[in-house]
Structure formats: structure tokens, C-alpha cells
Structure 1
């Protein structure tokens, strides 16, 4: 359903996976990757949003430091992904997100953001620093920046048994961002939406979170 397109950004040229619905769109969404790149799973996530009626773009955030990155879900992939996150830095990641939002605005859309893991933290910052409606899935790195002020509607999703974020830190999200929607899925842990990874995927939680995400996008990007 989707295809790669070139995107000019302040961080340099990147690719973005663009998936478009086959009928007039309900809205638009920027899909922000995990640390494994815009791999087959993230492209499928974008395609899924298009199937549900949204124009979806997934920028390849690692392109400024390592083009064409697609990593495996093993220790080597985790280690390489963390290196790329550190090499890219938050500011350049947000420059890529801003360019993606600008492309969608110029195409006549009002985009929101949905991010997963590292992308979930970037989704929060896309809200506070770029003013975009955002949905964050298990973005544990949000904790150090939780004091930033929301500039648009915000939704959080966490697994109740996620080892990367404590119950106390989830509660801190509630306390510091009381205007955001926050959902905890008691029967699951980290990466519960990653349907290609049976170690983490939890179908019921993923389906409920998706239902809530689609309702959020329909309300705030249409």
C-alpha cells in the first residue's frame, strides 16, 4: 500500500514511507519508529493506518546517521539502535518530524503523531515542542521531560508489567500531565503492539489501544 518518498529536512535528506487510503482521508498521522528503523513492521503499521482511512507517513529517523536502517529484535539490534539514537540526538529527530508535518500540511492535511517506544517519547516532544496532537506507546524516556507543557491533545499507552517504566513513573505522568489521556494495560508489558514479536505482542491490549488511538486521531486530525 505504501511507498518510499524523499523528504528534505533540516537534518538532511531522509526517506519517508507514505501510505495513503483508497478513499478520502479521515485525517493524517506521522508514525514514529522504535529503535529498529522503519522496518517491515513499522511500514505495516503505517499501512494499517492508511487502511483505516488516514494518510500515514513514517520518516526514517536514522537516515541522517545511517541510511536504510532495518535492525533485528535481538541484542545486536538493540545495541545498534541505541547507538543510532544517541548519534542522531533529539533535536535532529524533531527536525525530521517537523519536516514530515510540514509536508503533510502542504498536502492539505492536519497531522497527528503516533510513536512507539523511542518514537513514543518523540511523540510527546512533538506535542510539547511542535504543537502536534500525539499518541505515545510505552515511551519510557518521557520521564525526564515530563514537566514540559502540552500544546495539543495527548494520549499515553503503557503496559502494566513494562520493565522499562515503573508504576511510580506512570503515576508521575498522571500527576504532571493531568490533561492527557492515559491508559494502562494490566495484562501486558513493553512493545505489546509489536505483532511480529511473540515475546511481547498482546493481541487484546493492542486491539483496545488501537481503537482508542483511531478515535483520538479521528477527533484531532480530521
Structure 2
């Protein structure tokens, strides 16, 4: 079953929407699916649906609600791609990652208090990959996975706070996260006992999208299988 719900923001006044996919029967755990810069679009909703089919309650919050609630964009449509870049610039200008951490914290609270599920993981893509890293640093989330997260190399100073397992998928030909940034991520995170990095030689940003021009099917299947095994281990 799927639905769109309203979740109370941490300020106690506002609410924001989230797409929820529920499994049949009692959920084995919960997974927060964190959007790219394209909003909670059909690809993100499909990822939620897939996790629900695997037995997880899955929730994709609208993290652009303060700027343009309900935006859904297609990265393969040039005008919509450029619109997404504009939203991301506005998001960066308002220090959106801090606001998003509050929203992810609010979703964790909703899952644990309203749904009664203690084990909560998150998986994010692009912008969401960075936020999955920050969730591992700044919240008590049970396990986190980031796909082609941007700007993580600039946030390595927070890695000492990672207390629960984190896995990052790193395509080596990522045109948004270059070789120097990747090298810094490996140098800063490989020694951390809670962190695992997987490289994907020759693959580019967005390789694990559900559909469209960016997807590399073999790479996506490999990364997704690793993610499924990771959650099965750490959300049990």
C-alpha cells in the first residue's frame, strides 16, 4: 500500500509531505529514501515501492518543501534538469542540508513513535547521498547508504561522529565528484571501522537510477544487491 502523508516538522508548527510504501504484514524495519535534486519523482517512489516489496516500511520525504513543495522532475528532460540545478542552488544558498537533517530527524521520530519501528535506515542519491552521510554523522540512524554523494570530501571532519554502519557507492567517472574528491573520501573514510566504500570503475553519476539515460544496469544491480545485504545485516 502507498500513500502520501504529512509529517510534523521539528519546529512543531509546520508539516511536510512524504511518500510512504508499506509492506504486507509487519515491517522488518524502516528505510528512509532520500531524494536527488529532482524531488520525490517516479524514480524515488519506485525505490520506495521496491523496499516495501522486500518487507520494509519505506518513506521518501519532500526535502524541497520550504522552496517548492511537491516538485517532481525528470533529469532526462533538459529544461527540467536545469530547473533542478536552480532548486539545488537555492537549497545550497539557504544552507538546506541543515534543514534537511531536521526533516530526516523528524521522519526518524515519526517512524519510531508513530509506527513503532526501532530499526531505521536511510539510502540517498546524489544530494541524498550527501545527506545519508550527514545522517550517519549527526543522527542515531541505525544504518546509512549513500550513492554518488556530492561534497562529502568537504565534510570529512564530521566522520568521527559516525557511530553506526555507513556504506558509500562511488562511481569513479563521476563528473560531479572528481578523482581528488574521491581520493579524499577514501583517505578520510577507509580507516573508519564503521564505513565501507565501494568503487564502480568507469561508471558515472546517477548510474543506479531506476530508469532513464543515466542508468547502468549491471552497476545498479551490483550496488543495489550490496545495499540490500547491508540493510539485511544491520537492520535485523
TM-score range, shorter chain: over 0.9
Indicate conservation of the 8 Å contact 2:46/2:210, yes or no: no
Q: What does residue range 109-188 of structure 1 map to in structure 2 within 5 Å?
A: 109=117, 110-132=119-141, 133-148=143-158, 149=160, 150-177=162-189, 178=191, 179=193, 180-188=195-203
Which runs of no fewer than 5 residues in structure 2 stay unpaired?
none
Q: Does 1:76 align with 2:90?
A: no
3-state SS of the aligned residue for 1:10?
coil
Q: How many residues align?
A: 221
Task: Normalising by structure 1, report the TM-score.
Answer: 0.93
| Paired residues of 2:51 and 2:58 also in contact (CA < 8 A) | yes
- Contact 1:65–1:88, Cα closer than 8 Å, also in 2: no
- 1:14 match: secondary structure: strand
Offset, 1:163: 1.0
Taking the aligned partners of 2:21 and 2:223, their CA distance within structure 1 comes to 21
What does the per-residue CA deviation read over 1:141-171, in whole Å, with 9 as the maximum and x for residues that have no partner? 1111112121211100011211111233223
Contact 1:26–1:218 at 8 Å: present in 2 too?
A: no
What residue in structure 2 maps to residue 89 of structure 1? 96
Instruction: Tell me: CA distance 1:17–1:206, structure 2 relative to 1, closer, same or farther (3 Å).
Output: same
User: Could you say which residue in structure 2 is the equivalent of 1:18?
Assistant: 20
CA–CA distance in structure 1, aligned partners of residues 232 and 111 of structure 2:
16
Shift of 1:84: 4.1
Which residue is equivalent to 2:6? 6
Call closer, same or farther: CA 1:27–1:90 in 2, change over 3 Å. same
What TM-score, normalized by structure 2, do the two folds share? 0.88
Please give the root-mean-square deviation of Cα atoms over the aligned residues, in Å: 1.5
Contact residue 170 and residue 199 of structure 2 kept, 8 A: yes
SS of residue matched to 1:163: coil
Q: Which residue of 1 aligns with 2:220?
A: 206
Residue equivalent to 1:105: 112
Give the Cα–Cα distance (whole angstroms) in 1 for the partners of residues 25 and 183 of structure 2.
40
Does the CA-based 8 Å contact 2:47-2:210 persist in structure 1?
no
